[in-house]
Amino acid sequence: MTEPLYSVIVPIYNEEANLPELYSRLSAVLDSLDGTAELVFVNDGSRDRSLVLIRDLHQQDARVCYLSFARNFGHQIAVTAGLNFAQGRAVIIMDADLQDPPELIPQMVQQWQAGYQVVYAQRTKRQKESWAKRLLAYGFYRTLKRLADVDIPTDTGDFCLMDRQVVMVLNSMPERNRYIRGLRAWIGFRQTAIPFKRDPRFAGDVKYTFRKSLGLGIDGLVSFSKVPLRISTYIGLVSAAIALLMAVLVLYWRFFEPNSRLTGFATITVAIFFLGAVQLISIGILGEYIGRIYEEVKGRPLYTLAELGGFQNITPKVANRYTSIDNPDQG
């Protein structure tokens, strides 16, 4: 088989309840496309029967390829692995829970054929998600837009189509903090949005806990903005100005109004706590950046593969760059 025209990458973490429906809707869409397609499932260390289901699909349908991680590495890393192995001229990334409707793919393909190298889906509406999550997401994307060095479009997730050219650039980017929607914006090329209504999850629980979402948000901010580092400088400058003013005031009172003593145990305590807090927060922000430098410097592989199957042109040697297994299934 020659290289497929389209690849669809789907990260999977405990999605056994979604896989059958996902597969049937996706394969109907892929059948309707004008070229061959491969479906790349990336099993991100699922603890349910997802991997078994994926292997079955691979047996039934030659278009299905899969990678399976040795443990849970997280959504962004799973997508990254999919991008490393996908071979299509156009590569689509989507979630497994059918929040990203597969039926949008033909529209994306149309835009790609019209000459856009990146076609991303932009949410106009989120359904059945808690108001807290919606509010946080709303606030976050707007803050990110203001602070980030690159123009990351608001309300976009990872659901997109990318041309081979863009995927190759992404694959060549060595960083381990992979905030893909940010990297995608950073790369440039001709990009366009398709508005869509984000459906509720088809089945199963949300895999992004609050902690994971927060982590992803901080990753996005820190990887694409140096403004937080500057915030402590600004607060420091303002505090210094206030301190100077206070010093002048204290001296004035000391010499010209000796009777109006500047009393205040409370004032001092509040000042100490406030400055202490500012310093700790600044150190924390510094730590976020230094921790990331540390992660990058260690240079560990982004993921470990336990199993893969269905890829046509991946030699064991290439696979070995990513994994410790000797004999990947070439079936």
**Closest distance to ligand UDP from the beta carbon of 51 (Å):** 12
Enclosing H/E stretch for 88: none
Q: How far is the CB of 216 from Mg ion (least distance, A)?
A: 13
Handedness of CA 288, 82, 153, 204 (dihedral sign): negative
* CB 165, min distance to ligand UDP, A: 25
- Applying CB under 6 A, which of residues 95, 109, 112, 319 lies at the interface with ligand UDP? 95
Among 99, 117, 191, 225, binds Mg ion (CB under 5 A): 99
Max CA pair span of the chain: 94
| Residue nearer to Mg ion on the CB measure, 157 or 182 | 157
The rounded distance, in Å, linking the Cα atoms of 314 and 306 is: 15
Q: Which residue in the set 99, 177, 223, 225 belongs to the binding site for ligand UDP (CB under 6 A)? A: 99
Task: Calculate ∠ Cα 214-217-222, nearest 5°.
Answer: 125
Name the binder of 72 from ligand UDP, Mg ion, none, CB < 5-8 A by kind: ligand UDP
Binding residue count for ligand UDP, defined by CB under 6 A:
16
Residue among 100 and 163 whose Cβ is closer to ligand UDP: 100
Write down the least CB distance from residue 95 to Mg ion, Å.
Answer: 5
Non-local CB neighbours of 154 within 8 Å, separated by 6+ positions: 122, 141, 142, 145
Pick from 99, 91, 96, 47: which is nearest to 69 by CA?
Answer: 47
In which region does residue 59 sit, left (phi positive, over 0), alpha (psi from -120 to 50) or beta (all else)?
A: alpha
- 92 interacts with ligand UDP by CB under 6 A: no
Our CB check for Mg ion shows the closer of 110 and 127 to be 127
Q: Which is nearer to Mg ion, 47 or 254 (CB)?
A: 47
Which residue type, as a one-letter code, is found at position 56?
A: D
Site map 4..33 versus ligand UDP, x via CB under 6 A: -------xxx-x------------------
> Per CB under 5 A, does 97 bind Mg ion?
yes
Using CB atoms within 10 A of its CB, is residue 255 exposed (0-12), middle (13-18) or buried (19+)? exposed
| H or E segment to which residue 71 belongs | none
Least Å from the CB of residue 97 to Mg ion: 4
